[in-house]
Amino acid sequence: MNGCEAGSRARARTRRSTSLTIGLVCALLLVTACSPRPETLAPLAPDAVILAFGDSLTAGTGAAPEASYPSRLEALSGRRVINAGNPGERSRGGVERLPGLLEEHRPDLLILTHGGNDLLRRVDTEETRENIETMIGLARDRGIDVLLVAVPAPTLLRLRSDPMYADIGQRLQVPVEDGALAHVLSRDAMKADPIHPNGDGYRYVAERVHRLLVETGAL
């Protein structure tokens, strides 16, 4: 093989290698662009106030008060977290109760964990969806960011977050913690009863919420 042939083959291999590299880079960029990313939140100042609003899952039923997820999140985030959980409350009650708390505390961020009692009592899904979206609107109308925590739907099989929450998050561009409660309530070691976490479960929820706050730029 003469020098010209060797040079031609070397250049061909280089072109193939370059083409392959470019193809891999383009594929990686495409996957990255298509991968879901959490919506961004405004950074929380050190003196920011977070309002954790919901039912018994926010109140911390099944664990000591200091083991509730809002208490754990306060320690993780270094921000004040107000526990505004009301056990047994349905989403309709949340719509009625939330405005007064928003005016009283003027939080920088609302963490909304609601709808679980609606799901347990088979309230019409569209009614629950409307109430959750109304609560999000009540906060946003006051310039308050919102993070939504998904609640699992009752099922005889493996618990999964009700798809309503992901849909609301996508349509309203609200970040959603979409798996923590389903994970916890699927494991006997992390729950106090069939519908409430124990201290370890609430710790896991707080860690997942904290991670999402970091990912969205709030912390």
What is the DSSP track for 149-200?
Answer: E--BPP-SSS--B-HHHHHHHHHHT--EE-SHHHHHHT-GGGEEETTEE-HH
Q: What is the pLDDT of residue 153?
A: 86
pLDDT at 15: 53
The helices-and-strands tally (H runs, E runs) of the chain is 9, 7
Q: What are the DSSP calls for 77-97, one per residue?
A: HSSEEEEEE-TT--HHHHHHH
The residue with tokens 């109430």 is: 131
Q: What's the confidence (pLDDT) of residue 159?
A: 85
Query: What would the mean pLDDT of 61-78 be, rounded to a whole number?
Result: 98
According to DSSP, the residues that pair with 159 across neighbouring strands are none
- Average pLDDT of the segment spanning 66-78: 98
Say how far apart CA 192 and CA 59 lie, in whole Å. 14
Q: What mean pLDDT do residues 12-32 have?
A: 45
Is residue 216 within 8 Å of residue 41, measured between CB atoms? yes
Convert the pLDDT of each residue in 129-177 to its tens digit. Answer: 999 999 999 999 999 999 999 999 887 667 899 999 999 999 999 999 9
Asked if the model's pLDDT at residue 81 lies above 60, the reply is yes
Q: Which tens digits make up the pLDDT trace of 95-141?
A: 999 999 999 999 999 999 999 999 999 999 999 999 999 999 999 99
> At residue 207, what is the residue type?
E
CATH class of 49-215: alpha beta
Q: How confident is the model at residue 38 (pLDDT cuts 50, 70, 90)?
A: low
Provide the pLDDT for residue 198: 98
- Angle of the 163-172 helix axis to the 125-140 helix axis, nearest 10: 40
What the block records as the tokens of 54 is: 């919901």
pLDDT at 80 over 60: yes
136: its two tokens: 């999000």
Please, are residues 58 and 113 in contact by the beta-carbon 8 Å criterion? yes
For residues 108 and 144, the answer to whether their CB atoms sit within 8 Å is yes
Nearest to 210 by CA among 82, 74, 57, 106: 74
- Measure the CA dihedral 35/144/178/217, to 10°: 50
- Residue 30: predicted pLDDT: 44
What are residue 113's phi and psi, to 5 degrees? -125, 90
Per-residue pLDDT tens over the stretch 181-209:
999 999 999 999 999 999 999 999 999 99
- Report the b/e string of 120-142 with b at 16+ CB within 10 A: eeebeeeebbebbbebbebbeee
pTM: 0.83
Return the pLDDT at 154: 80
Biggest CA pair distance of the chain: 87
Main-chain dihedrals φ then ψ at residue 62, nearest 5 degrees: 105, -5
